[in-house]
Amino acid sequence: MLKLYHAEPVANSMKVLIPLHEKGLDFESVYVDLHKFEQHEPWFLDINPEGQVPVLDHNGFIVTHSTIINEYLEDTFPENPLRPGDIHERARMRYWNKFIDEHVMNHVSMHGWHRMVRRVAQALDKDEFEKMLERIPLKEQRDKWRTVAGSSFTEEQLAEATRKVSIAIDMFEKQLGQTKYLACNSFTLADINAYSHCGMMAERMFPELASRDKTPNFLAWVDRVRRHPGVQKALAGPDHTNPALRTFSGEAT
């Protein structure tokens, strides 16, 4: 039995929803409402003490962290592979995954927190906010909430994050001028990772970096990824975010 605890189809949740759909696996979807901070509730912390989605439960075996979950799915369900059989392509896939995990995700995310989560934090009253904070297990997460509830990230921090996103988009553009997908000519976990954390929101969030003129290969790849049936199915999942706050998932910038 496969069960996925996840939030909206964007970022890390999206990154695991896509392979589950694309591989045609039957799974139970458990929506965790981040707007109600369900990820910090005791029932969820029993499953993942870090208080983070997504989490995969496979016959009682718990896997956390989206990159690890996706490799686990490939190890466990090798049919309809999203990990290349060729060892060179596989190494390139892992190179991109590592790059996205360590040098892209947090920088796009910082802008998301600054533009979107900040408004959520500032809408909470002081008591509510402190109560919510107390329940967050990871200090790094508590720090981010405090930052956006206060004066938010500095201009310097945001500029540095933009610089990192810019480097990433340039690297994607260059690679996608050479191969149809990031690691090779077939769709892999690297594309799913790059799309979920950067591709799906880049043109909207960073129009100065990603545009049809400037990065045609990158945006043609975004379209190509979006057309995959598993991506379409994942995108059709529930989105409970206030539309005005859909910096990541919707129309907001």
Neighbours of 203 (CB within 10 A): 16
d(CA 179, CA 208): 24
Does 43 participate in binding a copy of itself (rule CB under 8 A)? no
In whole angstroms, the minimum distance from the beta carbon of 214 to a copy of itself comes to 22
DSSP H or E stretch at residue 87: helix 87-103
Does 64 participate in binding a copy of itself (rule CB under 8 A)? yes
Stretch that binds a copy of itself, among 96-104, 118-126, 148-156, 194-202 (CB under 8 A): 96-104
In whole angstroms, the minimum distance from the beta carbon of 230 to a copy of itself comes to 21
Does 141 participate in binding a copy of itself (rule CB under 8 A)? no
Q: Name, in order, each residue with C-beta under 8 angstroms of 230's C-beta and a sequence gap of 6 or more.
A: 18, 19, 20, 21, 22, 23
Tokens of 204: 């909207």
Q: Name, in order, each residue with C-beta under 8 angstroms of 159's C-beta and a sequence gap of 6 or more.
A: none
Does 68 participate in binding a copy of itself (rule CB under 8 A)? yes
d(CA 179, CA 219): 14
Does 204 participate in binding a copy of itself (rule CB under 8 A)? no
Q: Candidates 18, 63, 189, 198: give the one binding a copy of itself (CB under 8 A).
A: 63
d(CA 156, CA 66): 29
Treating both helix axes as pointing N-terminal to C-terminal, what angle do 155-175 and 105-112 enclose, rounded to 10 degrees? 130
Neighbours of 193 (CB within 10 A): 28
Tokens of 1: 């039995």
In whole angstroms, the minimum distance from the beta carbon of 87 to a copy of itself comes to 5
Does 67 participate in binding a copy of itself (rule CB under 8 A)? yes
Does 192 participate in binding a copy of itself (rule CB under 8 A)? no
Q: Candidates 38, 101, 170, 203: give the one binding a copy of itself (CB under 8 A).
A: 101
Does 95 participate in binding a copy of itself (rule CB under 8 A)? yes
Does 91 participate in binding a copy of itself (rule CB under 8 A)? yes
Nearer to a copy of itself, 38 or 160 (CB): 160
Does 88 participate in binding a copy of itself (rule CB under 8 A)? yes
d(CA 81, CA 189): 9
**Interface positions with a copy of itself (CB under 8 A):** 61, 63-65, 67-68, 71-72, 75-76, 87-88, 90-91, 94-95, 98, 101-102, 139, 163
